[in-house]
Chain A
């Protein structure tokens, strides 16, 4: 049987409902805020007219109602944040102190489990490897590439090609790389990596099954996706270095090496920090790559994917929540560092 478009119509109808809801909510809000003040203005005008004809003293000017209006502008956002983020986050903290079915309090047992269960300790170590390697390698590569490609011919095209993986989903990227890592026991290899190994005289290997190599190979995927981001931000920072500084240094006869360490690096330090911190946060939460490539098997699981497995596959809400809270705790210092840094720049 072929694809039948008629089957898809309920979805499009639902999409239309969504769009209607959007117009009603946003349009309604703006309209309401336009109509209500107009009504007030009209009433005041009428009062003024009445007052001037009857000779009674003028009513006082109404107070500024800015706060009242601001409340309505902020209402959808505040409501959604409370329902969708704040309350659930607090509940997750509570759930992490309860058992799998969320009925009995177990104190800190879930956290104890996290640090004593061998497979979870392995997960924590893997996460650490990810968090160290991804920001480091992706930032370093992005920086080197940004310096190298600066003012080169075809700069725009070369940069676009590196940047392109940013548009690809982690799932898509994982499939792309699974294909690179593909293994055939006999006959021709279809995976590029094994083909290279074979043509160099080696034996083909099952890359994704060998721990700890497989974790590194998954990290390659993340680096491949994120290096373009680092490159774009750092390249913009390099181009923003004032020309006269560069020129003065050049007149002083500094070598390219000195130029890089003494002029370029200090100038782009803020951008470097932003990139490294952003990548660190993104890496801590990496889930799709691990799930699509190995499903967390063969010792490749990380906190975010293990959290999904515990809470949604094994029905262990307590343990899953504990992992989520731990993730949260890991993110906090990184973000605080970022905020402090931004504030310093803003002042300086």
Chain B
């Protein structure tokens, strides 16, 4: 994939000076217009989010009766909405603090597991010699084809009734209740992330200098040791890139959570609760706007602070299937 995606190189070409004054003026004007237009578009792009944010800070009757833009002429702001959706205990208020913890509990292991397993697999596929290595890599890569919709019904059945073959139980039903259902969600997210994770990390790991591995082997280092002490530190940027990917993916996911987490505030993440509120309380804008912003804030912070790694990951394998 790396060949498909040019590395980010700063525009190094010299801008040749136009020969005439008119040419110079026109050139500068062109750049100016382009700058202006692109900034206007960027601002327009941000207005919907900005409007939501402003609304979430306005008192309930204001949100419901006047547009958020009137807040500029008639500023009235309050944190009441956040107080209500986060900590309110009535079933209609949102109880988002609870769901927020669910989102965290779902996301952390769902990022760690595929990251570790995929790194191990990618190392073996790149630097260990065994029969059928390339074939296996292609098979894992090709699994990206399978849309996760294909796996949902049987996987759910697998959790609820276990696996039996010809009357023999190979795997008992998981029979999970309440917060134990997190395990199902971790499992599902890990499985679904693996093909892409192996593919992305393989790209990085296979490009490490071979001499390094060779030298370590000659010194008698075992594969686990090489993996721990040489490979892991070198692929940290790739791990970070995939980690952010997976974090955003899991935190923002609705489908997997809807099916495997169960609907209550014991396990369902923010997205599930929000979708439910949008469906049943579509007109309670004071709750919806504040709620949406609560769910957005964590990925936004992660994204803004780690944008560089994220972009690198995007450019290395812009193919989340």
Contacts and interface: CB of A to CB of B under 8 A. Distances in A.
B230 interface: no
A161 B191 contact: no
Q: Which of A83, A154, A275 has the most CB of B within 10 A?
A: A83
A117 interface: no
Interface stretch (B114-122, B208-216, B235-243): B114-122
Interface in A190-206: 190-192, 195
Interface stretch (A49-57, A105-113, A123-131, A162-170): A162-170
Given A2-B87, A88-B151, A74 B299 contact: no
A61 interface: no
Contact of A171 (B9, B31, B295): B295
A224 B282 CA distance: 22
Nearest to B68: A190
B244 to A, nearest CB: 10
A33 B123 CA distance: 14
Contacts of A59: none
A195 B4 CA distance: 44
Given A67-B131, A152-B35, A243-B13, A177 B48 contact: yes
B150 interface: yes
B300 interface: yes
A153 interface: yes
A151 interface: yes
A292 interface: yes
A236 B104 CA distance: 33
A80 B191 contact: yes
A179 B49 contact: no
A275 B318 contact: yes
Chain A, interface SS category: helix
Interface in A45-79: 64, 66-67, 69-71, 73-74, 76-78
A33 B222 contact: yes
Contact of A271 (B4, B248, B252, B278): B4
B52 A179 contact: yes
B9 A240 contact: yes
Contact of B49 (A164, A277, A328): A164
Q: Which of A78, A158, A224 has the most CB of B within 10 A?
A: A158
A89 B153 CA distance: 9
Interface in A205-256: 224, 229, 232-233, 236-237, 239-240, 243-244, 246-247, 250-251
A174 interface: yes
Contacts of B11: 150-151, 239, 243
Q: Which of A4, A304, A331 has the most CB of B within 10 A?
A: A331
B86 A3 contact: yes
B31 A152 contact: yes
A327 B149 CA distance: 8
B158 A167 contact: no
Interface in A1-28: 1-4, 7-8, 10-15, 18-19, 21-22, 26
A264 interface: no
Interface magnitude class on chain B: 35 or more
Interface string A256-283: 0000000000000011001101100110
Interface in A30-50: 30-31, 33-34, 37-38
Nearest to A89: B150
Interface in B131-187: 131, 133, 136, 140, 143-155, 158, 178-180, 182-183, 186-187
Contacts of A176: 48-49, 51-52, 292
Given A161-B46, A342-B3, A172 B274 contact: yes
A33 B104 CA distance: 32
B285 interface: yes
Given A19-B109, A190-B65, A74 B124 contact: yes
B98 A10 contact: no
A14 B182 contact: yes
Contacts of B275: 171, 288, 291-292
B14 A22 contact: no
B47 interface: yes
A192 B149 contact: no
Interface string B101-128: 1101100110011001110110111001
Contacts of B5: 233, 236-237, 271, 274
A308 B278 CA distance: 18
B188 A84 contact: yes
A233 B303 contact: no
B22 interface: no
B319 A278 contact: yes
B42 A158 contact: yes
B42 A288 contact: no
A229 B314 contact: yes
B319 A274 contact: yes
A190 B63 CA distance: 7
Contacts of B108: 15, 18-19
A134 interface: no
A248 B89 CA distance: 68
A4 B109 CA distance: 24
B147 A328 contact: yes
Closest 3 CB pairs of A and B: A84-B191, A243-B13, A240-B6
7 contacts: A2-B89, A15-B108, A29-B120, A80-B117, A175-B291, A178-B288, A195-B69
